[in-house]
Structure 1
Amino acid sequence: MDKRKWQQYLHIFSNNNLGVIGVGILVIYLFIAIFAPLIAPFDPTLRIGTPFSPPSGDHLLGTNDVGQDILSELIYGTRISILIGIIAAFFSIAIGCLVGIIAGYYGGKVDTFLMRVVDLVLVIPFLPLMILLAAFIGPSFWNIIFVISILTWAGPARVIRSQVLTVKTKGYVEAAKAIGTKISIILKKHILPGVVPIALSQFVLAASQAILIEASLSFLGLGDPFNKSWGTVLYYAQARGAFLTDAWVWWILPPGLLITLLVIGFAFTGYSMEEILDPRLRKGR
């Protein structure tokens, strides 16, 4: 895709209020994740206060059941949650692009077979399979990423395939085929440029979904016990009696709000990107 096209997309995006808000939210979260050691008031692994201390000047969100600063836990947890979301979304979109491009470009029996696989993945009950798979392979950072990637690639694959079917019927692609251009060159110069914008919007939405899945698995006790994410904070809060005391106000509510706000940021950004890429959505706004 040429530079002028990207500039056009950027101009449209800058005039999209939801998109600007979404990007602003993501920038703030990324800043917190990158500079967590400088922002966090304490080391989240150290006991620095009285257990179940309410919010105060020393501990703005109080302490947990062992005296660790909850605000510091959440700041460092931003790193883990976002990192898992981005890496899992990358692998999910990579698999989806591979399947979608092969199915859409070659068509025929290849397309039929791959789309039946996609249909199978989409119709399998998601939540039971996610819990079963995560429990079977065990809790760890990379196992969570594997579970999320293997369960979320089918949706993007279907979207990418539809885009490839549209692009490959263009005149310049047909002309390239007619003169005997190698498939690798056609894919690189014609198919991929038409797929990348759609893949980017799917990546943003996949990252949002991955963060929710990670939080759900961690809340159920299937997350990485050595890396505290927001979901892990919720798990320990639920397991150690936060709901039975007033501690839920500062121990459970903040991570829940952080997850919600981040998902909203990804959703605003992703939907705005889809609107930019599809003129019909802009006209119907």
Structure 2
Amino acid sequence: MSALAAAAPRRRTSAWRAFLRDREGLSGLIVLTLFGLVAIFASVLADPAGLEVTKADGPLAAAPSWDYPLGTDHAGRSVLTMVIHGSQVTLLVGLAATVISMLLGTLIGITSGHFQGLFGGALNRFTEWFLVIPYLPLAIVLATVFPADVPKLIAVIIVIGVTSWSGTARLVRAQTLAIEARPYLERARALGGGHWHQMTRHVLPNVMPLVLANTTLTVSIAIIAETTLSFLGLGDPLRVSWGRVLDEAYALGAIDRGAWWWVLGPGVAVVLVVRAFNMCGRALERILDPRLEGRS
């Protein structure tokens, strides 16, 4: 047991070095690090007062210039300032919703794969029910009927989290079924290991690499979902996010007025972050699954 414990840090170090040697994964990590720093130091990079319409002093719907690199909106607010501060809400919602999605997907996936019979079958049917329902309409309905006394930001996080777990559960269940057929699980059952012991000590450690790789891909889905809900007017109206900036630009006819810069900033930010998470996820898949090595 001590030998296994000593080997674990070496395996993690080896995986980290392999990730750093992967150009695609390293590029994605650099982009995510930059956006993470922007979100953390948003108040230092741009004055939060610039988000308030009453305190905006820039020209109305002005094109990009030295003073306003990404131009201004209809109220004279700097689009760059809104993109910087919008990164906080967008990344927070994406990461928090992914945590909920991963917890639900891993728990339901392992449980449905471990338990056979009526209980496991019912969980599997429940997962399939979520898979066949169109994701976006379900999220829109849940966001619309969510209790009004719950903060809108919390509601969006919960809605995205509880509607995006089914894909993870399906993957984890398939991996659990493969692990359940291995000899060491039979020995654990023969030695009297209970269900909790089998799932936490044998199944969970073996499905974690799959969960880790799938997490980075799910974050990108959650960010797109937050942007979509905010664009449809279902986000938090009191907080600036990339989706809300795009919603305001669309509602006020930015494209018709030729104010392309109003949608360029938040649009490019969403594309870069989503692409970076996908790049990291693909790199992790190649590292954790040697069969994918050499594939693009």
Q: How far 1:143 sits from its partner (Å)?
A: 1.3
- Alignment-derived partner of residue 205 in structure 1: 217
- Alignment-derived partner of residue 67 in structure 1: 76
Q: Please give the alpha-carbon distance, in whole angstroms, between the structure 2 residues aligned to 1:41 and 1:128.
A: 37
| CA offset digits 1:210-255 (Å, max 9, x no partner) | 00011011111111101110000001111112112221x2111111
Q: Please give the alpha-carbon distance, in whole angstroms, between the structure 1 residues aligned to 2:48 and 2:154.
A: 27
Q: Please give the alpha-carbon distance, in whole angstroms, between the structure 2 residues aligned to 1:283 and 1:230.
A: 35
Greater shift after overlay, 158-167 or 138-147? Answer: 138-147
Number of residue equivalences: 284
Aligned partner of 1:39: which letter? L
| SS of match in other structure, 1:252 | helix
Aligned partner of 1:185: which letter? H
The alignment status of 1:21 with 2:30, answered yes or no, reads: no
Greater shift after overlay, 206-215 or 100-109? Answer: 100-109
Change (3 A) 1:101 1:47: same
**Alignment partner of 1:4 out of 10, 14, 24:** 10
**Alignment partner of 1:280 out of 267, 283, 291:** 291
Question: Does the 8 Å contact 2:135/2:164 carry over to 1?
Answer: no
| CA offset digits 1:66-93 (Å, max 9, x no partner) | 1111111100000100000000000011
The alignment status of 1:244 with 2:256, answered yes or no, reads: yes
- Alignment-derived partner of residue 228 in structure 2: 216
After TM superposition, the score normalised by the length of structure 1 is: 0.93
- Alignment-derived partner of residue 262 in structure 1: 273
| SS of match in other structure, 2:237 | coil
The alignment status of 1:166 with 2:178, answered yes or no, reads: yes
Q: Please give the alpha-carbon distance, in whole angstroms, between the structure 1 residues aligned to 2:193 and 2:138.
A: 43
Aligned partner of 2:279: which letter? F
Q: How far 1:284 sits from its partner (Å)?
A: 4.7
Question: Does the 8 Å contact 1:51/1:65 carry over to 2?
Answer: yes
Question: Does the 8 Å contact 1:48/1:69 carry over to 2?
Answer: no
Greater shift after overlay, 130-139 or 213-222? Answer: 130-139
Q: Please give the alpha-carbon distance, in whole angstroms, between the structure 1 residues aligned to 2:45 and 2:237.
A: 23
Q: CA RMSD in A?
A: 1.8
The alignment status of 1:86 with 2:95, answered yes or no, reads: yes
| Structure 1: gaps (5+ residues) | none
Matches within 5 A, 1:100-115: 100-115=109-124
- Alignment-derived partner of residue 130 in structure 1: 139
The alignment status of 1:234 with 2:246, answered yes or no, reads: yes
Q: How far 1:135 sits from its partner (Å)?
A: 2.2
After TM superposition, the score normalised by the length of structure 2 is: 0.90
Q: How far 1:179 sits from its partner (Å)?
A: 0.9
Aligned partner of 1:99: which letter? I
| Structure 2: gaps (5+ residues) | none
Change (3 A) 1:107 1:272: farther
Q: Please give the alpha-carbon distance, in whole angstroms, between the structure 1 residues aligned to 2:48 and 2:235.
A: 23
Greater shift after overlay, 170-179 or 21-30? Answer: 170-179
| SS of match in other structure, 1:242 | coil
Aligned partner of 1:112: which letter? G
- Alignment-derived partner of residue 160 in structure 2: 148
Q: How far 1:262 sits from its partner (Å)?
A: 0.5
Q: Please give the alpha-carbon distance, in whole angstroms, between the structure 2 residues aligned to 1:121 and 1:234.
A: 29
Identical pairs, percent: 37
Q: How far 1:25 sits from its partner (Å)?
A: 1.1
Change (3 A) 1:264 1:181: same
Q: Please give the alpha-carbon distance, in whole angstroms, between the structure 1 residues aligned to 2:134 and 2:57.
A: 44
Aligned partner of 1:73: which letter? M
Q: How far 1:283 sits from its partner (Å)?
A: 5.4
The alignment status of 1:30 with 2:36, answered yes or no, reads: yes
